[in-house]
Amino acid sequence: MEKEIRDVVIIGTGPAGYTAAIYSGRANLKPLIIEGHQPGGQLMITTDIENFPGFPEGIPGPELMSRMRKQAERFNVDFIFGSVAEADVSRSPFGLTLDDGRDILARTLIIATGANAKWLGIESEGLYRGRGVSACATCDGFFFRNCRVFVVGGGDTAMEEALYLTKFASEVVLVHRREEFRASKIMSLRAKKNPKIKTMLNEVVDEILGDGTKVTGIRLKNVKSGELIEHACDGVFMAIGHEPNATLFKGQLDMDDYGYILTKAHSTETSVTGVFACGDVQDFIYRQAVTAVGTGCMSAVEAERYLESIR
């Protein structure tokens, strides 16, 4: 039996995927969207979003995503539960195999699989996530006015997060497990020069301390002496990197050294014609809902134009 070929298949239901679905649904392309293991994406695990335009009072992340989903449902979008287990973009139509074994063929593919912040993996970190523990200064820095916060990490991202947090916090402490930061000289210097930033080197996080409802401190372990010291603080920001969800396409699409899918300038087109990538899976700079929405729109418009060109 011949398999159906879909015009547009979108992988992922975060802000980027839902936006691509709304646009391609309204363009009458009857898109199919594959939800993945986390329907709604990263914002499902957060509380208030205060920087998404249109919600002057802020909006809980899960509610924002439920509204996006409802909007997509209005426009003839087919939803599929499950995740993509295998992808083949070596020839068109592109082939996908879901984790339940179903096969899907697509004339255009929109990859909106997002990225995940890396976490330390200690229990207290999970307990206080959203209650003082964060992995995004741009998202949550505002909640830490006049507070003392710790930033864990030693790369450029950690320096950027620390510098950004000085706009709000009274003191920012950078914690790094090595003797020296591995950030670029210019970024390390900028952080060192900032009077609000203190550094603690050769230290790892042993535990995040709290009163059951919010973070109250952090216990650090010196990697040389093994000494454990508790420090009072109101927030802990993890800045130890992000992992783009792009392994399905490794060796098939051009990626940068960190595994982010590369897209052409001013476009979401990947190295394979007809395959587009939007949101955090191709954005290592901004990683915001509103930028994911913007590139989701671009992917849908570009997919539509590509389909027009091959008809």
Ligand X SMILES: Cc1cc2nc3c(=O)[nH]c(=O)nc-3n(C[C@H](O)[C@H](O)[C@H](O)COP(=O)(O)OP(=O)(O)OC[C@H]3O[C@@H](n4cnc5c(N)ncnc54)[C@H](O)[C@@H]3O)c2cc1C
Backbone angles phi, psi at 285, to 5 degrees: -95, -55
Instruction: Give yes or no for residue 83 binding ligand X (CB under 6 A).
Output: yes
Going from the C-alpha of 54 to that of each of 37, 51, 146, 272, the distances in angstroms are: 28, 9, 28, 35
Alpha helix (H) ranges present in 74-197?
A: 123-127, 137-140, 156-165, 185-193
Cα-trace Rg, the chain: 21
* Site string (41-80) toward ligand X, x via CB under 6 A: xxx-xx--x-xx----------------------------
103 catalytically annotated: no
Among 6, 21, 25, 38, binds ligand X (CB under 6 A): 38
Choice between 21 and 220, CB closer to ligand X:
21
Number of residues that bind ligand X (CB under 6 A): 39
278 catalytically annotated: no
Handedness of CA 43, 46, 49, 55 (dihedral sign): positive
The answer to whether the beta carbons of residues 150 and 236 sit under 8 Å apart is yes
Among 8, 9, 10, 16, binds ligand X (CB under 6 A): 16
Choice between 98 and 223, CB closer to ligand X:
98
Among 108, 124, 166, 245, binds ligand X (CB under 6 A): 245
**Residue tagged active-site, from 140, 234, 280, 283:** 140
The answer to whether the beta carbons of residues 182 and 239 sit under 8 Å apart is no
Choice between 114 and 181, CB closer to ligand X:
114
Instruction: Give yes or no for residue 289 binding ligand X (CB under 6 A).
Output: yes
The answer to whether the beta carbons of residues 239 and 158 sit under 8 Å apart is yes
Minimum distance between the CB of residue 290 and ligand X, rounded to whole angstroms? 5
* Site string (85-114) toward ligand X, x via CB under 6 A: ---------------------------xxx
- Residue 198 β-bridge partners: 173
Going from the C-alpha of 9 to that of each of 5, 116, 162, 299, the distances in angstroms are: 10, 22, 39, 11
Contacts to ligand X by CB under 6 A = 11-17, 34-39, 41-43, 45-46, 49, 51-52, 83-84, 112-114, 117, 135-136, 139, 245, 248, 279-280, 287-290, 292
Catalytic residues: 136, 139-140
